[in-house]
Amino acid sequence: MGKKVYMDNAATTQTKQEVINEMIKYFNEMYGNPSSIYDLGRTSKRAINKARTSVAKFINADEDEIYFTSGGTESDNWALKGVANANKSKGNHIITSKIEHHAILHTCEYLEKQGYEVTYLDVDENGVVNIEQLKESIKDNTILITIMFANNEIGTIQPIKEIGKIAKEKGILFHTDAVQAVGGLRIDVKDLNIDLLSMSAHKINGPKGIGALYVKKGTKLDNFMHGGAQESKKRAGTESVQNIVGFGKAVEILEENFDEHIEKITKLRDRLIKGIKDNIADIKLNGHPVNRLANNVNFSFNYIEGESLLLYLDMEGISASSGSACTSGSLDPSHVLMAIGLKHEIAHGSLRLTLSDSNTEEEVDYVVQKLVDVVNRLRVISPLKG
Amino acid sequence: MYTEKVMEHFRNPRNVGEIKDADGIGMVGNAKCGDIMKIYMKINNGIIDDVKFQTFGCGSAIASSSMATELIKGKSVDEAVELTNKAVVEALGGLPKVKVHCSVLAEQAVKSALYDYAQKNNLVVKGLEDFNPDEDVHEH
Ligand SMILES: Cc1ncc(COP(=O)(O)O)c(C=O)c1O
Ligand SMILES: [Zn+2]
């Protein structure tokens, strides 16, 4: 008892101590408004620009292509609404996928109400978007393709380079929600032909409530937040200096030992997948077997329901997540699990475990051991296990 | 979000299992909604001597089944028919609003098992005249 294992890093991550140490200064002595002309203000401005450089470098963008926002949700909203509004004269058709985060899907639904037309692409059983369908969906009035880089539930990585190429050939803007991808993959926006990209700091050991939108130079995009002249007059509001500094620091730490970081997490992930497969019957790994995020494990356990599973795991000190209806607050299980073709009862019995580089092999083994017990207990209670 | 009583029943569910030679069996809910409850009863001289359940569902579904079986064990068939979902919710010290359907399911599972018992024994049970075992009671 008393053991705590956090394996819900796709939900959020622990803010690294080095990140906090940097941030604290901007609450204490360096509290100036970056728009102010005196030294205290300029100090804050410099800190923001340093962070901007780090974030830009990380995805091979230029500094003036990075705009800080309040997080992934705002970046997604801004990209979609901003492109839709600014390109009205060109057309009103948007292409996305059925497995996007709600920050994209609900924004698309909103745009549909405003008169835009949205195509929601299917995915295959591994969660990969149908490229043929994408090509066929493109019309003269298509103004935007928005496909997530990697999925938050099942970890599947999309063929972003291929999509970027298609978008470029057709002269259509391409946005990608890379909120989950930035911590797990090297991203080069130039090489991938990405016009807009959303990021969020709290998924990479940075603070919550801060993110960025990368906007390629020359992209037609309306403003989302109107007000002061911050962020080159593109995103109004006094900058969250300490959060921006924290975001920058988190990116720098990630960049510094990216390969080791990915290697370590991948090893833990594969150990976890193997442990579960070797010890529990009647299960299914959800998401792509190979092209998946280094930190993502998602299994369905037949005959049992996800919320019960989470609650029993919580009693063992394990934090995880599920795509069951009972945890989503709605009648249906996760739209992602339905889109990959899972039957309802299988989707209800899903468990997502997402790792960080603070997890250990010992923790992985502990989770496997507890999972065996908990799944057995719930199967004994289940009427479905004949 | 759950009361201590709910968690206690969830942690240690009472009356889990099957009764091989049950006198009445009821199964309600569906996989689509994520909750299925099956209740088995052993009934002698109109008294529920034994009751067991199996549930596929969330924490409150398991706790509701456990509580429902506890509330009717040793009771007469006529008393058990009167078990309401409200009584289950109250005994659990409350359920979150979105989980009240689980208690409805527990009530229906009990009624369904009693209905099965009545059918098999050609009995008319007061309170079950209008009961339809196939009705989808799973509103959210
Ligand atoms: C793929 C994806 N997009 C967007 C978001 C929203 O990001 P934020 O929490 O920073 O608003 C998340 C976080 O849950 C996500 O996983
Ligand atoms: Zn339900």
Three-class HEC string of A177-220? ECCCCCCCCCCCCCCCCCCEEEEEHHHCCCCCCCEEEEECCCCC
The yes-or-no answer on residue A108 being catalytic is no
Total-model pTM = 0.94
Residue nearest to atom 8 of ligand 1 (CA): A72
Can you tell me which atom of ligand 1 is nearest the CA of A71? Answer: 10
Q: Name the band, by pLDDT with cuts 50, 70 and 90, for residue A277.
A: very high
- What local confidence, expressed as pLDDT, does residue B139 receive? 46
- What local confidence, expressed as pLDDT, does residue A329 receive? 58
Average pLDDT, chain A: 96
- What local confidence, expressed as pLDDT, does residue A2 receive? 80
CATH number belonging to the domain at B4-120, selected among 3.40.1050.10, 1.10.10.60, 3.20.20.80, 3.90.1010.10: 3.90.1010.10
Q: Is residue B54 over pLDDT 60?
A: yes
- What local confidence, expressed as pLDDT, does residue A333 receive? 85
Strands ordered across the beta sheet of B24-30: B24-30, B35-44, B47-56
- Report the C-alpha gap between A197 and A76 in whole angstroms: 8
Q: Average pLDDT for residues A318-344, to the nearest whole number?
A: 84
**pLDDT digits 0-9 by tens, A184-229:** 999 999 999 999 999 999 999 999 999 999 999 999 999 999 999 9
- Phi and psi angles of residue A190, each rounded to the nearest 5 degrees, phi first: -75, -50
Q: Is residue A260 over pLDDT 60?
A: yes
**A8, A175, A180, A298: which to mutate for ligand 1, most atoms within 8 A of CB?**
A180
Shortest CB distance from B54 goes to which of A308, A324, A382? A382
List, by residue range, all CATH 3.40.640.10 domains of chain A.
17-256
Q: Is residue A331 over pLDDT 70?
A: no
Distance A197 CA to ligand 1 centre (A): 12
Write down the CATH number for the domain with range A17-256: 3.40.640.10
Q: Please tell me what DSSP assigns to residue A65.
A: G
**pLDDT digits 0-9 by tens, A111-170:** 999 999 999 999 999 999 999 999 999 999 999 999 999 999 999 999 999 999 999 999
Q: Is residue B88 over pLDDT 50?
A: yes
Decide: A359 and A271 in contact? Cβ < 8 Å: no
B16 touches chain A (CB under 8 A): yes
- What local confidence, expressed as pLDDT, does residue B140 receive? 42
List, by residue range, all CATH 3.90.1150.10 domains of chain A.
5-13+258-380
Q: Name the band, by pLDDT with cuts 50, 70 and 90, for residue B111.
A: very high
- What local confidence, expressed as pLDDT, does residue A1 receive? 57
B32 touches chain A (CB under 8 A): yes
Nearest CA to CA, how far is B37 from chain A (Å)?
A: 7
Q: Is residue B137 over pLDDT 60?
A: no
Shortest CB distance from A380 goes to which of B16, B98, B99? B16
Question: Helix or strand or coil: residue A359?
Answer: coil
Please, what sign has the CA dihedral across residues A294, A351, A377, A380? negative
b/e sequence A76-85, b meaning 16+ C-beta within 10 Å? bbbbbbbbbb
- Report the C-alpha gap between B38 and B15 in whole angstroms: 12
Query: What are the boundaries of each domain within chain B?
Result: 4-120
Can you tell me which atom of ligand 1 is nearest the CA of A150? Answer: 1
Domain A5-13+258-380 matching CATH 3.90.1150.10: the answer reads yes
CB-facing half-sphere around the CA of A131: CA atoms within 13 A: 11
Q: Name the band, by pLDDT with cuts 50, 70 and 90, for residue B3.
A: very high
Can you tell me which atom of ligand 1 is nearest the CA of A103? Answer: 4
**pLDDT digits 0-9 by tens, A83-118:** 999 999 999 999 999 999 999 999 999 999 999 999
- Report the C-alpha gap between B47 and A106 in whole angstroms: 54
Contact A311 B10 (CB under 8 A): yes
**Minimum mean pLDDT among A11-25, A287-301, B25-39: which range?**
B25-39
**A345 or A98: which carries more pLDDT confidence?**
A98
Nearest CA to CA, how far is A312 from chain B (Å)?
A: 8
Residue B19 corresponds to which tokens in the numbers above?
């009764």
**A152, A175, A240, A352: which to mutate for ligand 1, most atoms within 8 A of CB?**
A152
